[in-house]
Structure 1
Amino acid sequence: MPTRLKPTRLEYVVDGVRLRAQLSAAALENLGDEAAQRKAALDVLKAALFRGRMIAKERLENGAGGIETARLLSGVTDEVVSALYDFTTVHVFRARNPTEGERLALMAVGGYGRGTLAPYSDIDLLFVRPYKQTAHTESVIEFMLYALWDLGFKVGHASRTIEECIKLSREDFTIRTSILEARRLTGDEELAEELVRRFRGEVVKGTGAEFVAAKLKERDDRHARAGASRYMVEPNVKEGKGGLRDLNTLFWIAQYLHPGETIERVMQMEMFERREVRTFIKAFDFLWAVRSHLHFATGRPEERLSFDLQPEIARRMGYGDRGDAPAVERFMRRYFLIAKDVGALTRVFAAKLEAEQVKTAPKGISRFIPGRQVKRKPLDEPGFHEVGGRLDVDPDIFEHDPVNLLRLFRIADTRNLDLHPDAFTAASRSVNLITSAVRRDRHAAKVFLDILARGRDPRTTLTLMNEAGVLGRYMPEWGRIVAQMQFNMYHSYTVDEHTLRAVGVIADIAAGRLADDHPLAVQIMPLIADREALFLAMLLHDTGKGGAGGQEVAGARAARQACERLGLERSKIELVAWLVEHHLVMSDYAQKRDISDPRTVADFAGIVQSPERLRLLLVLTVADIRAVGPGVWNGWKGQLMRELYAATEAVFRGGRGSDAAAALKRYQENAAYDARVRLSKVEPAAEAWGDAMEDAYFTAFDEREVLIHARLAVQAAAAGGAAAEGRVRADLNASEVVVAADDRPRLFVDLAEAITGAGANVVGARVFTSSSGSALDVFYIQDAAGQPYGADDARLLPRLAESLAAAARGEVQAREPRRADLGRTAAFAITPAVMLDNDASEDSTVVEASGRDRPGLLARLARTLSDAGLSITSAHIDGYGERAVDAFYVVDENGEKLTDARKGNALKQALLGALADSEAESAQGRRSNLQRARASVAR
């Protein structure tokens, strides 16, 4: 990290006396020429403003604090605005004998009034008049505003009398808050003092409760707009939960309840320990530094710490790679730890409000009635009591028995009580009482497992424990992932937030609340014998991130350590460790492998080994994927999971171990026989087609879908050898397009290119070929926004179906190539990878290609495979944010696996070349983004 610089004095940056002398000289030199006077004055002010900003930027990059930078920029702006006011009222519109109506005070309000300013923030100004506006004051204000705009400022402004300020601030809390921070810059001093005096006496006095209520509601609404979690991986530094606005809210409330007191004085009150004061200042300083760097890096008032900016801000703030931890992840973890501190500080401040009877109850407006007496209701747990509907504790309860640090949260969960801020503060201040002896205490383990596996609302309770620091202290494995971020677009939250959400999903499944989204998981949840193992595995599944040996192995090691400390029996410890080590296996097999291939299911069944593990793994996988972020889970993934579960369950019913493939084959044969019989009765014309289709096809689709496909195949035979149709599948969050055609080389390639040319993205594909040479290709597609293709425009799917039928017949179609707009994905450097596996299937070689996702990638990879003389028998498309992982089952021209090592290596190089083209585009995108930012700053 850069060495912290000593603060610099403002006069060394902008000398106000010298600045005014320069403006006077400019006025005198251009006397009689108003345009020349104005231009000369603006040139002087621009130079001063530029010098001040560049000094602030240089100091920030060399280690100056965020608060110092914000105050320096505010001070520079003060000098420029005040000097402009003097120039305007002395040299442009001078009133030699000012009347009462020509008095004018210029005040900074809002954030600028607080004396802090980001490099490209708006400045809020209030022109205070004694009564109605005169021609003189109107001219002064108009001249100043145009000059400020020409200087590059974005100005929020108002011109009001004191009466208007008082009236409007009573009616509007936004105006009231801005005047709360009003600070005189220049102009009539008595007028400014009168406004402050009357505002405190006529607006603030006696209205603390309603102001607190309004500010807290405003905060909650803002959090809902910006994202309710403070652990979203692209946070808004200003407006997001845990950001600067939360600290500003504390400022406002403190100022309102203690008018005239400095924030330093408020921070010295009994409620704050020195540690909390240091934390407050540290958080404020860090967030201001991040915000200032964001503005300087982009040359605009950017408040969102997006993926493409995070590496640059990390570099500017002096973070470097350390071991396996990239600089950007180290920086972002620091950011989220600060956001966590902001949440804890908010609770501490709430405790002070509680003591002052401003905020006395968790529900209802009555909590804001001053003087309301709150009764203490003792509970049957010694040392715990209820105060105003919240759980509080005796002062020495944690020192008496540190296990009470865990009991506090169990009681709150059991009784559905919010924690009293004093209790939360006391717990967070007492976490050091949790020692190794407490971690191995059997009573503590019982309390913890009650919360996790049998609690009413484990996600909320564990979140409170995490915010207080209790969870990470009790379970050190968890402490290592608190606020940890993975720098990718797949995960929307930090590791700990993702995990807590996943625990909540399991609790919702257990309660039957997700029956519509996850019917199978809800159905099998009562059959799970060991819920403790399930919840423990979910809590610990990501504790191996960044660990030695890889995430899965390191996670299993951490899980064993944690479970042994809890005193669990050996069988349960090994079950939890197995689940953690294999928590990605089911999603990998379902989304990257052909479930209709007996080898896929046999291999998966060989890993799982028992129906109980299968049930546990399904619920664990569903919760893990669903908790990654909005839109990651969809019906398509759900169907794949259900198919893999059903096929594996059939294996366990029909045989074990080496009999798995045989059991699945019997299952498929029986299903195929029944389906063919039903098809021949309903659609006799399709009987021959059904007899020629492979058995695996009939276990991949239900009876209704088989009938649709059969009729399409009959139609294709009568329409030149190809037919296609599409429909929106809301249940899969995708549209399904089915193509029936005579099989031929490059058929899949032509179809994939036609889909890309139509502006659709393939999220899944199934390819079947009958013994009579008929192909049935089923594609699941979405639009660029991740919605079912054609859902908003009924013309798109029929048009695409016509295009696919033509492509299947081999008709050449002129298509304008889609340009790959990398967008935010350009921020990530992705190493392409290709794997060839001849053991994953009995009949095919599995080719897995991984690289940067982009439009047309599937078609490009399919073309490369076709050029190598290979036929695609099955394709499986999966995406993880910026990374695509596409798996193809291929055979050579003889219908056999690719076993020639030389040809295999050549294929690898060709596929890596296709993937590398995307990476080259990305590198160019990153360079362009950086160049644009630098050019913007230079301007």
Structure 2
Amino acid sequence: MDAATDAAWSQAARERMQALDAQLAVRFDRGDATAALTAARARGIDALVREAWARCIPESVDAALFAVGGYGRSSLYPQSDVDLLVLTEQAWDHAVGEAISRCVALLWDARIPVSHSVRSQEETVAAARDDITTVTALMDARLLAGSRSAVATLADAIAPERSWPPAEYFAGKREELRARHARFDDTADNLEPNIKEGPGGLRDLQTLRWMAMRVLGATGLDALESLGQVGHIERETLENAAVALQRLRYGLHLVAGKREERLRFDHQRALAARMNRVGHADLEPADNAMVEAMMQEFYRNAARVQRIGDRLLQRFEEQLEGEAIAEPIDDQFELRRGYITARDPAWPMGDTARIFELFATWAHTPAARGLHSRTARALAEVLRNVPAYSEASPELRQRFMALLTMPGAVATLERMARLGVLARWIPAFAQVTGRMQFDLFHTYTVDQHTLALLRNFALFASSADTQRFARAHEVWPHLRKPELLLLAGLFHDIAKGRGGDHSILGAEDARVFCTAHGLSDADTALVAWLVEQHLTMSVTAQKQDISDAEVVQKFARLVGDRERLDYLYLLTCADIAATSPKLWNAWKDRLLGDLHVATRLALRRGGEDPVAAEARIAEAQTNVGLLLDGMGRNDDGMRWLPNSSFLHARVEQLTWMALQLSDMRAGETRIAARHPVAGDASLELLVHTPDRPGLFAAIVATLDRIGLDVLHARLLDAPQGQVIDSFVLMPRDSKRAVESRDVERRLGDVLSHPLDQVKPARHARPSHLRHFRIAPQIEFSEDHGRTVLAIVCNDRPGLLADIAQQLLRQRFPVHDARIATFGERAEDVFRISQADGQPLDSVAQEALRDALSTILQGDHA
């Protein structure tokens, strides 16, 4: 046949597939079962593949065509690959190769993404023996064309006695699963999870199926249930999870229009709309609530797959290795191959107290690998009978509280959460299980964030991470009842998603819970107060000037006593560090630590007025002088530090500054940068230079070009017409180290030239930020003779440099800056004035508002 005929066939085949895909998309929107849709698509591809084969491969050729992989399972999603195997024993010649190449070309021209291999039986045996992925794909092979005897030939080629016997196959696939999970940080609770490859995704379900085929010869959940390897509830749970995940994947392929397995921000709104507005041809983007509900369903299903998958891995292991010898723990429980097992097969006999006894035994058995699959199944089957605490007996409530006072209480709460017990005991926790927030600030679901916060408490108690948390391990031993902090952590975000202030709603939940569990009025009030105020210390430290004695005194009055301060400090540190891996750094550790120390001193003074500024300055100067003297250095550098700096900076920081300025002369520029904490990426920058217009704008523009984000900036007038600017910086790219010497060199070069030559860099807006729109807010107020400019808007690279450039154009000097970023949200505060040092009048404020709105509205559009 000629090329024109082939082209006509490919065009017709492409049109047939387009028509089929359009029909299947309508059926998807109508709510048809996804399994039926993927099977129908596979049948459509089957017909075209067979036609192409018949057009190109002569009947005389001794070859068989197989569908393998997902196509072999008759499961093709809209953007799935079509994997083919040609099995032949015929001697290879040029004509056969040309025929197969023509067949594949026909299919590619029809826009069918074919991947193919051509092997003999001997080559197939070798490939299967050498590669577990190959043998797995061939296990799902399905004959499309050629002699049926080839089916037996292929089955013989991949038989366990030839390649990957059950024990080796199980070990290989288990290691493959662990490595795959590790690529996703061992959690499905990511902002943009992978439906197919991520933990709890469709690949996990397939892996369990392949293991069952190889280890037990079972080809589906029916067979596994008949063999006693899964219970009826486990089977139903896996089936329902598979249906939900398959529908998500099919819908994702439709809205993405390309091969995509990640639930990216780009597609979440469109997919949520498509999943929920069945039958609507013109789909509007979904609102946040609809996206969050869709994602919550995914996270919950992924967690169920992981839980049952862990049990099945144990059962397959036992099938291969035989029943383990029991090691008694007590009269109720024993260890089998390191897993805690209930000794009575009928456990827990409908008694929830026995479930709490299991967790108590687990807490006292630190060597246990986990919970035995048999007992885990028994627990899952009676989970619905676990009462909410409000309906439980006083004795049962006491048993729960006893768990919080045992060693390893955090691990116990994690286990209860993972196995579903905590969500039954505290129904409000069930509401936030798997709940995500559609923003870039909260990296994890609410329940996973809460568990990460509790793990931070465990770090504080063990003093295991004193580099990340410099003071927390010192404060922890002062807690009167650590279990009260666990309860505050458990409830701090429990009211997310209900509407209203989650801190106030959560505090009421905590109060009811503590009262029901018999806590004293004082302990109940403490837990409820911590939940209600859990954001206050963070806001005070990051948005206010904690070197201002009035700010500290106001915070001290709110806290009231040392006990509340210690509890709130630890809760705040754990909360910030558990929100996002990128959010906690040495600067925030020091910032909160400084506020804790300053507030503790204020509380010691009781209700008296703050210590006079003069006395504080004198005390700091004396301490710096003593440190310098202890180093054998003179205090010449202190003369370049303005008195106000001794109010704002720590003694250690002031000592470093004085050392950098010890031999400086009038009119000279001195730049110094350092990593204040070993191993931390943050940088501290000191710039001491003659004051001139555009200085702040030039500095931040240069830092932006270097790839450094400003976390904090302080600008003070220094003696002899100089200024001293200090910055806390963080590399924008967490994988790229920025050397302090490089910052000093590049900034020194910029400041040695005219500043009006320094312009902000142009940045492409990161694609993921376009899904998060924050209406810009620009507010003015007056404080101590300065104008306070507060800006809330979408964050983006170069934002601070652009704002600084606008302030320069308006000729408004910047006297101080507090920079805070929360995911996609920037909240920046500047203390500015007019050129004559006076606050901005109303006309100047409106002119600046208009100028800033111009650059910020573009981010919002």
Q: Normalising by the residue count of structure 2, what TM-score does the alignment of the two structures yield? A: 0.91
Structure 1 segments unaligned to the other structure (5+ residues): 1-32, 359-367, 921-939
Q: Which amino acid aligns with 1:500?
A: L
> How many pairs align?
850
For 2:224 and 2:101, the matched residues in 1 are separated by 39
Query: SS at 1:398's partner residue?
Result: coil
688 and 376 in structure 1: CA distance in 2 versus 1, 3 angstrom threshold: closer
Question: Is 1:62 matched up with 2:30?
Answer: yes
Query: Structure 1 residue 331: deviation in Å?
Result: 1.0
Question: Is 1:78 matched up with 2:46?
Answer: yes
Question: Is 1:207 matched up with 2:165?
Answer: yes
Query: Structure 1 residue 112: deviation in Å?
Result: 1.6
What's the Cα RMSD here? 3.1
Question: Counterpart of 2:859?
Answer: 918
* Residue among 539, 549, 574 paired with 2:525: 574
554 and 267 in structure 1: CA distance in 2 versus 1, 3 angstrom threshold: same
C-alpha offsets along residues 523-552 of structure 1, whole Å, 9 cap, x if unaligned? 221122220111111111111212343121
Q: Is the 8 A contact 1:605 1:651 kept in 2?
A: yes
Question: Counterpart of 1:738?
Answer: 686
Question: Counterpart of 2:135?
Answer: 176
* Residue among 356, 360, 363 paired with 1:406: 356
Question: Counterpart of 1:251?
Answer: 209
For 2:481 and 2:449, the matched residues in 1 are separated by 23
Question: Counterpart of 2:280?
Answer: none
Q: Which amino acid aligns with 2:570?
A: V
Query: Structure 1 residue 853: deviation in Å?
Result: 0.8
Query: SS at 1:399's partner residue?
Result: coil
Query: SS at 1:623's partner residue?
Result: helix
For 2:674 and 2:314, the matched residues in 1 are separated by 57
* Residue among 236, 250, 253 paired with 1:292: 250
Query: Structure 1 residue 504: deviation in Å?
Result: 0.7
Question: Is 1:192 matched up with 2:151?
Answer: yes
Question: Counterpart of 1:817?
Answer: 761
Q: Is the 8 A contact 1:789 1:797 kept in 2?
A: no
For 1:733 and 1:330, the matched residues in 2 are separated by 36
Question: Is 1:420 matched up with 2:372?
Answer: yes
Question: Counterpart of 2:647?
Answer: 696
The within-5 A match list for 1:726-765 is 726-728=673-675, 731=678, 732-744=680-692, 746-765=694-713
Query: Structure 1 residue 50: deviation in Å?
Result: 1.9
Q: Is the 8 A contact 1:850 1:883 kept in 2?
A: yes
Query: Structure 1 residue 219: deviation in Å?
Result: 0.6
The within-5 A match list for 1:768-847 is 768-770=716-718, 773-786=721-734, 790-791=738-739, 795=742, 797-806=744-753, 811-815=755-759, 817-836=761-780, 844=786, 846-847=788-789
For 1:667 and 1:429, the matched residues in 2 are separated by 65
Percent identity of the aligned residues?
Answer: 29
* Residue among 627, 637, 651 paired with 2:602: 651
Deviates more, 1:230-239 or 1:684-693: 684-693
Question: Counterpart of 1:22?
Answer: none
Query: SS at 1:767's partner residue?
Result: strand
C-alpha offsets along residues 193-250 of structure 1, whole Å, 9 cap, x if unaligned? 332256447448x932322222111111110112211211211111100111011112
Question: Counterpart of 2:7?
Answer: 39
Query: SS at 1:188's partner residue?
Result: coil
For 1:695 and 1:373, the matched residues in 2 are separated by 70
298 and 623 in structure 1: CA distance in 2 versus 1, 3 angstrom threshold: same
Deviates more, 1:576-585 or 1:295-304: 295-304
Q: Is the 8 A contact 1:502 1:624 kept in 2?
A: yes
For 2:238 and 2:398, the matched residues in 1 are separated by 36
Q: Is the 8 A contact 1:541 1:583 kept in 2?
A: yes
Q: Which amino acid aligns with 2:691?
A: D
For 1:615 and 1:347, the matched residues in 2 are separated by 39
For 2:838 and 2:651, the matched residues in 1 are separated by 23
Question: Counterpart of 2:123?
Answer: 164
Deviates more, 1:154-163 or 1:820-829: 154-163
The within-5 A match list for 1:491-510 is 491-510=442-461
For 1:646 and 1:164, the matched residues in 2 are separated by 72
Query: SS at 1:157's partner residue?
Result: strand
Q: Which amino acid aligns with 1:130?
A: E
Question: Counterpart of 1:342?
Answer: 305
Question: Counterpart of 2:814?
Answer: 872
For 2:126 and 2:705, the matched residues in 1 are separated by 61
Question: Counterpart of 1:327?
Answer: 290
Query: SS at 1:415's partner residue?
Result: coil
Q: Is the 8 A contact 1:766 1:875 kept in 2?
A: yes
For 1:917 and 1:658, the matched residues in 2 are separated by 49
Q: Which amino acid aligns with 1:115?
A: S
The within-5 A match list for 1:888-903 is 888-891=830-833
Q: Which amino acid aligns with 1:140?
A: A
652 and 252 in structure 1: CA distance in 2 versus 1, 3 angstrom threshold: same
257 and 131 in structure 1: CA distance in 2 versus 1, 3 angstrom threshold: farther
For 2:424 and 2:748, the matched residues in 1 are separated by 58
828 and 117 in structure 1: CA distance in 2 versus 1, 3 angstrom threshold: same
582 and 266 in structure 1: CA distance in 2 versus 1, 3 angstrom threshold: same
Q: Which amino acid aligns with 2:774?
A: I
For 1:326 and 1:64, the matched residues in 2 are separated by 25
Question: Is 1:391 matched up with 2:350?
Answer: no
Q: Normalising by the residue count of structure 1, what TM-score does the alignment of the two structures yield? A: 0.84
Question: Counterpart of 1:927?
Answer: none
Question: Counterpart of 2:316?
Answer: 353
C-alpha offsets along residues 838-891 of structure 1, whole Å, 9 cap, x if unaligned? 5xx666554332111112322333455566675433211121111111122345
Query: Structure 1 residue 774: deviation in Å?
Result: 3.0
For 2:14 and 2:499, the matched residues in 1 are separated by 55
* Residue among 820, 825, 835 paired with 1:883: 825
Q: Which amino acid aligns with 2:699?
A: L
Q: Which amino acid aligns with 1:751?
A: I
386 and 506 in structure 1: CA distance in 2 versus 1, 3 angstrom threshold: same
Q: Which amino acid aligns with 1:465?
A: M
For 2:103 and 2:338, the matched residues in 1 are separated by 54
219 and 759 in structure 1: CA distance in 2 versus 1, 3 angstrom threshold: closer
Q: Which amino acid aligns with 1:800?
A: L
Structure 2 segments unaligned to the other structure (5+ residues): 278-282
For 1:351 and 1:678, the matched residues in 2 are separated by 60
For 1:885 and 1:466, the matched residues in 2 are separated by 34
Question: Counterpart of 1:87?
Answer: 55
Q: Which amino acid aligns with 1:342?
A: V
For 2:128 and 2:243, the matched residues in 1 are separated by 30
Deviates more, 1:189-198 or 1:872-881: 189-198
Q: Is the 8 A contact 2:122 2:157 kept in 1?
A: no
Q: Which amino acid aligns with 1:62?
A: R
Deviates more, 1:754-763 or 1:587-596: 754-763
C-alpha offsets along residues 164-183 of structure 1, whole Å, 9 cap, x if unaligned? 32343233221221111111
C-alpha offsets along residues 542-581 of structure 1, whole Å, 9 cap, x if unaligned? 1121234312111211211222222211111111111111
Query: SS at 2:144's partner residue?
Result: strand
Q: Which amino acid aligns with 1:825?
A: L
Question: Is 1:125 matched up with 2:125?
Answer: no
804 and 598 in structure 1: CA distance in 2 versus 1, 3 angstrom threshold: farther
Question: Is 1:525 matched up with 2:488?
Answer: no
Q: Is the 8 A contact 1:672 1:698 kept in 2?
A: no
Question: Counterpart of 1:861?
Answer: 803
Q: Is the 8 A contact 1:555 1:580 kept in 2?
A: yes
Q: Is the 8 A contact 1:724 1:802 kept in 2?
A: no
For 1:782 and 1:414, the matched residues in 2 are separated by 43
For 2:508 and 2:313, the matched residues in 1 are separated by 40
Q: Is the 8 A contact 1:385 1:392 kept in 2?
A: yes
